[in-house]
Amino acid sequence: MTAAPVVLKAEGLSKRFGGLLAVQNVSFTQYAGEVLAVIGPNGAGKTTLLNLLSGVYRPTSGRLHLLGQDVTDRAIEHRCHLGLGRAFQIVRPFPEMTVHENVTVGALFGKPGRNLSQAREVAYDLLERTGLSAHAGKAAHELTLLQDKRLEVARALATGPEVLLLDEVMAGLRPGEAQEAVHLVRSVRDSGISVLFIEHIMPVVRDLADRVVVMDQGQVIAEGTYREVTANPQVVSAYLGTETELHA
């Protein structure tokens, strides 16, 4: 059997803020088609890691490879054009623009070489895929929270990613809504996109992740299937005293 190609490879990534090593020597590999979760208690360094992956921060040390290229010193735009998309926890669409226009902007600027009519077509297709077609003409500020999250995913997909980073996109959703969001992420994965996500809601991690990377105090303390990591005493101990219910 041939192993799936590597899409992301972090090698000893660290990020220092003054006296604090927020991310310490983090290494992991993500394979094509894989859904990888990054979990850990508050302050573990998950968001900082995501910022290192997407290019918001340059690492203090370590290297990052994306789709076979060393992108350690590459800007956000370069990573985006290469095939890295990101959806944020706090959704910030252009509120007065329509839902369709918001996705068109992503399709136009996230992928070089598209003209406006191509971007508009891509946007219609993505609204269909993310279940927003019926809301295409609404102003973005009229959407519900779940629809906002769908829009955020549609905007990230509009850049044509091969790897999609999701930063706690389930935050604030009710359980039924979170299940709908899980279906959406599965459909993204089924379309061939590799997904790396940060999540605090353990049932979501259990339902979605092929593999889980657990961080604590900036370091990776465990890696494996959901079952493996939640049975790991070091992981259990890292979560003790936190509000997160580790065993979903």
Among residues 48, 102, 104, 159, the one that binds ligand ATP under rule CB under 6 A: 48
- Could you tell me if residue 59 is left (phi over 0), alpha (psi between -120 and 50 degrees) or otherwise beta? beta
Tell me the number of residues near ligand ATP by CB under 6 A.
11
Among residues 30, 46, 157, 178, the one that binds ligand ATP under rule CB under 6 A: 46
Which residue carries 């890295």 as its tokens? 84
Residue (13 or 143) nearer to ligand ATP, CB: 13
Among residues 42, 115, 117, 191, the one that binds ligand ATP under rule CB under 6 A: 42
Residue (148 or 216) nearer to ligand ATP, CB: 216
Please tell me whether residue 17 binds ligand ATP under the rule CB under 6 A: yes
CA dihedral sign of residues 41, 237, 224, 130: negative
Among residues 13, 26, 35, 44, the one that binds ligand ATP under rule CB under 6 A: 44
Residue (16 or 189) nearer to ligand ATP, CB: 16
Please tell me whether residue 90 binds ligand ATP under the rule CB under 6 A: no
Among residues 24, 40, 108, 158, the one that binds ligand ATP under rule CB under 6 A: 40
The identity of residue 33, as a single letter, is: G
The number of beta carbons lying within 10 Å of the beta carbon of residue 211 is: 18
Residue (45 or 83) nearer to ligand ATP, CB: 45
Residues that bind ligand ATP (CB under 6 A): 17, 20, 22, 40, 42-48
